[in-house]
Amino acid sequence: MADWTIEPFGKAHTRSAFNCGKPALDDFIRTRVSQYEKRRLGKTFVAVPKGEKRVIGYYTLAAGAVTFEHLPAAASRKLPKHPIPVILLARLAVDLSVQGQRLGEGLLLDALQRSLDLSGKLGAHAVEVNALDDLAVAFYVKYGFTPLLDNAKHLHLALATVEKILNRDSG
C-alpha cells in the first residue's frame, strides 16, 4: 500500500523544498504552478505523504496535438491527415527523498487513468510526452511509450493501449 496520496494541486500544498534534481521541474512546482492553474494552462496533481501537504511528486496534464507527419506509420494508419488531438503529460517529477520507491510509476499510472477518463469527454487519441533526457525516455518506454518521428525524446502512447494497460493492472 502506498504511503502517499495523489490529489489536485492547491495553495495549501507545501512545495518550497521540492527537489527532483531537475531545475526546470523544481522551479515549476515551487514558483509557476499557481499561475498555470489560474490561467488554465495545465492541471497539476501532487503526491503528498498521507496526512501531510508536503509535495513529494507531481505531474501536469494539458491539451495538445501531434502533427500527423510525426506519427510512425503503424500509429497513423486509419487516422486523418491533420494534427491528432492528445493529452500532454507536460511534467512528471519525484522528489529526490523518495526516488526509487515507485512513486514515479504511481504518478504515471494516475496520469494515464485521468487521461483515459478525459478521453471519454473530449477527443484525444494518445498521451504525449517530451522527455527531458535519456533516463526519462527509458522510464516512459518501459510503460509502452514509443518515439514520434520528429525527436527520440518526443513520445506517445495510444489511449487504446492505455486502456489495456490499466485493465491488466486492475485485474
Residues known to be catalytic: 140
Amino acid (1-letter code) at residue 9:
F
Angstrom distance (rounded) from CA 49 to CA 125: 33
Grid cell of 3 as nine digits: 504511503
Q: Is 157 exposed, middle or buried (0-12, 13-18, 19+ CB in 10 A)?
A: buried
Q: Yes or no: say if 68 and 80 are a contact pair by the CB < 8 Å rule.
A: yes
Q: Yes or no: say if 86 and 66 are a contact pair by the CB < 8 Å rule.
A: yes
